[in-house]
């Protein structure tokens, strides 16, 4: 079986907790290289992936890409477009963590480079493989809700004191803030389910004293189909709302709590380690129905490993990439319009 050597650029939360374990779980991939200048992260990478090549900079990697078939960009947001372009220019296919870039123009430039080089390019929108998203998609496709009229979706946390990470205390110009962090997921899910947005309204607030970018946001979308999406993202929610509330002409879907895969990865669990992956216990299933007739609905298992399985197929079997980068451009367009709306422009 062909095996793809993958280089993970950046070994913070995204690289170490999300990408590397999922790459290692894919039979046709291996973690061949890690780029990090932090000695303690380098040691963790060597311990987790014996034989991995660890380098300090992308210049070192791209100057000698022998054995590398794919580059994963898991660095701070402001570097995504530049590093993706450098990797493509070195002749390497690329996965970029979300957000794809900081602006639509940046994203389009990266896509143009990939097209000229005839190289695969995709964006890690892993929340398309969340349990609740997969369950909702199944319900919609089966007509279980009737005609969907409103989609309400939330990623909310209670962090009255920030952790001090660049995502929280950095500048908007560097891609910090909750709009590009959680908003990239929420908007992508809404557009994937219900199509392009024709109207965008947004509220952005910075609630904590040490935070310069927004930590509390709301986006309202009107889709071309007429469906409305209301999307909340917050780090300062002392009471958490439903993860999803979806209202149809016949029934609604209501679910609380997050997909279990992130917590499993953070705890060191890995796909294929002997226990079912991504399953949701029955007591955490969502419900479908009306006020007079509501019943629990079994949750689809979450499936983050599918992303790298599809990426392997794209590189080895000429299949489509798991996420069309043009979808990420559409998401960035909405995020740009959201920021303008919040500024009253």
pLDDT tens by residue, 207-259: 998 888 899 999 999 999 999 999 999 999 999 999 999 999 999 999 999 99
| CB-CB contact of 181 with 187 (8 Å) | no
Stretch among 92-101, 131-140, 170-179 having the lowest mean pLDDT: 170-179
Please tell me the predicted confidence (pLDDT) of residue 166: 80
Please tell me the predicted confidence (pLDDT) of residue 210: 86
Q: For residue 57, is pLDDT > 70?
A: yes
Domains of the chain: 4-126+307-313 (3.40.50.720), 129-304+332-342 (3.30.360.10)
**Mean pLDDT across the chain:** 96
Residue ranges in the chain assigned as alpha helix (H): 20-25, 39-48, 58-63, 80-89, 104-117, 131-141, 166-169, 178-194, 261-266, 305-316, 325-342
Mean pLDDT, range 28-37, rounded to an integer: 98
Percent of the chain with pLDDT strictly greater than 70? 100
Pick the more confident residue, 273 or 59. Answer: 59
Mean pLDDT, range 169-189, rounded to an integer: 92
> How many angstroms separate the Cα of 30 from the Cα of each of 48, 63, 121, 124, 239?
12, 20, 18, 17, 41
Please tell me the predicted confidence (pLDDT) of residue 1: 65
Pick the more confident residue, 345 or 80. Answer: 80
Pick the more confident residue, 31 or 162. Answer: 31
| CB-CB contact of 130 with 302 (8 Å) | yes
Q: 184 pLDDT band (50/70/90 cuts)?
A: very high
User: 341: which residues sit within 8 A by CB, 6+ positions away?
Assistant: 200, 201, 202
Please tell me the predicted confidence (pLDDT) of residue 345: 83
Q: For residue 149, is pLDDT > 70?
A: yes
> How many angstroms separate the Cα of 81 from the Cα of each of 68, 85, 142, 205, 280?
20, 6, 38, 27, 35
Q: 165 pLDDT band (50/70/90 cuts)?
A: confident
Q: For residue 164, is pLDDT > 90?
A: no
> How many angstroms separate the Cα of 46 from the Cα of each of 10, 14, 41, 129, 147?
14, 17, 9, 29, 52
Neighbouring CB atoms inside 10 A of 198's CB total: 11
Residue ranges in 195-304 assigned as alpha helix (H): 261-266
Please tell me the predicted confidence (pLDDT) of residue 245: 98
Stretch among 16-20, 206-210, 277-281 having the lowest mean pLDDT: 206-210
Q: How far separated are the first and last CA of the chain, in Å rounded? A: 54
């Amino acid at each position: 079986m062909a095996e793809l050597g993958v280089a993970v650029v950046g070994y913070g939360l995204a690289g170490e907790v999300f990408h590397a374990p999922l790459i290692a779980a894919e039979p046709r991939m291996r973690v061949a290289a890690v780029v990090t200048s932090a000695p303690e992260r380098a040691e963790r990478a060597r311990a987790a992936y014996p034989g991995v090549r660890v380098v300090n900079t992308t210049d070192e990697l791209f100057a000698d890409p022998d054995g590398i078939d794919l580059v994963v960009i898991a660095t701070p947001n402001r570097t995504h477009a530049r590093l993706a372009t450098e990797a493509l220019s070195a002749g390497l296919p690329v996965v970029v963590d979300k957000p794809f870039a900081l602006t639509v123009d940046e994203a389009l430039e990266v896509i143009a480079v990939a097209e000229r080089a005839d190289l695969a390019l995709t964006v890690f929108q892993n929340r398309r493989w969340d349990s609740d998203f997969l369950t909702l998609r199944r319900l919609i496709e089966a007509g279980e809700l009737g005609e969907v009229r409103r989609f309400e979706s939330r990623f909310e946390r209670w962090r009255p004191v920030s952790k001090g990470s660049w995502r929280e205390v950095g500048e908007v110009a560097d891609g910090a803030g909750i709009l590009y962090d959680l908003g990239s997921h929420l908007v992508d899910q809404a557009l994937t389910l219900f199509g392009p947005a024709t109207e965008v309204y947004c509220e952005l607030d910075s609630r904590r004293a040490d935070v310069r970018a927004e930590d509390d946001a709301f986006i309202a979308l009107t889709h071309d189909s007429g469906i409305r999406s209301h999307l909340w993202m917050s780090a300062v929610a002392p009471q958490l709302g439903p993860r999803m509330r979806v209202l149809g002409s016949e029934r609604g879907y209501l679910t609380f709590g997050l997909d279990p895969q992130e917590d499993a990865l953070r705890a060191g669990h890995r796909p294929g380690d002997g226990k079912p992956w991504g399953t949701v216990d029955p007591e955490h299933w969502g419900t479908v129905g009306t006020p007079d007739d509501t019943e629990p609905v079994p949750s689809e298992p979450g499936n983050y490993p599918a992303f790298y399985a599809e990426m392997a197929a794209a590189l080895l079997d000429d299949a489509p990439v798991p996420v069309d980068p043009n979808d990420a451009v559409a998401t960035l367009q909405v995020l740009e319009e959201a920021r303008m709306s919040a500024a009253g422009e």
